[in-house]
Amino acid sequence: MKASIIIPTFNRAYILENAIKSVIGQTIPDWEIVVVDDGSIDNTKVVVDSFNDNRIKYVYQINSGPSAARNKAFEVIAGDWITYLDSDNELFPNYLEVMLSEIDDHPDTLYALPKGKRTLELYKKDKLVKSIDDSGDFLDNLSVKDIFMRNFHFDGNGFMHSRRIIDEGYRWDEKLNLMEEWDFVMTFAEKYPDNFLYIPHVLFHYHQRFGTDGLVSNAKYNEWAEAFEYIYRKHKNDKMLQGQGWYPNRVEKYRKLHEEYKAGNAPEPYLKYFS
């Protein structure tokens, strides 16, 4: 089974190398990387070309956002299984070996997610000033229901799905720049709730960087509210979401925090991690 690793990136040449190296260092060789340059104006292409590896594909598009970049990669991938890695994160060396072995042992699998290591990093003037290990919300057991209920931190790095998902026409919602991976999974999990595999092995490292250039890290309260509301309206009739009310409550919470922030009574969203 060949794996395609999609890496969307925008002006991150300074750190992209680490993500690519983490794939090159995999314990199995049957993979390809598709780097989708989302309109960068730095030397991203130079970094990719420096590896001189025919398993690495470079695709350029006008800046359109991470969801559009991932959809663009679908046009050129050759793998049987597709996984995602942001340009500031890394896969552990045994990621592909473990994931594909587990999937092979569970032939009904269409999509799978491993545990991960999550590090919160605070930067000031491009220098790391504080780092916190925050991996505790990766669960030992996980169901599709947990995904819909957002009972854990689901980021999308390390998430893997069958090519069948693409062949059936599922795509990333290009209107979303926050929680788009969550929305993407819900679009087909509703149809295939019994084809999910959780792999309780720590197989990737997710760096959540604050004070730098991350869309998620720098998101404001109102942006979170809008994303939650959009996803809720889109999926509110899904069977998995029936009988819960926390989505509207979450929207209300973030809208209230936004008003408090504008009035100077609430901190920047990311500071809650470092107080």
The per-residue pLDDT for range 172-184, each reduced to its tens digit, is 999 998 889 989 9
Residue from 85, 35, 105, 87 nearest 204 by CA: 85
pLDDT band at 107 (very low <50, low <70, confident <90, very high): very high
The per-residue pLDDT for range 34-59, each reduced to its tens digit, is 999 999 999 999 999 999 999 999 99
**For residue 75, what are the CA distances in angstroms to 25, 100, 271?**
25, 23, 39
Averaged pLDDT, 225-253:
81
Percent of the chain with pLDDT over 90: 56
256 in helix, strand or coil?
A: helix
Q: Where in the chain are the domains?
A: 3-213, 219-275
Element (H, E) at 265: none
Query: Does the structural domain 3-213 have CATH classification 3.40.30.10?
Result: no
- pTM reported for the whole predicted model: 0.89
The per-residue pLDDT for range 189-210, each reduced to its tens digit, is 889 999 999 998 999 998 877 6
DSSP per position, 65-86 = -HHHHHHHHTTT---SEEEE--
Asked whether residue 150 carries a pLDDT value surpassing 70, the answer given is no
Query: The dihedral of CA 26, 8, 4, 112: what is its sign?
Result: positive
pLDDT at 230: 92
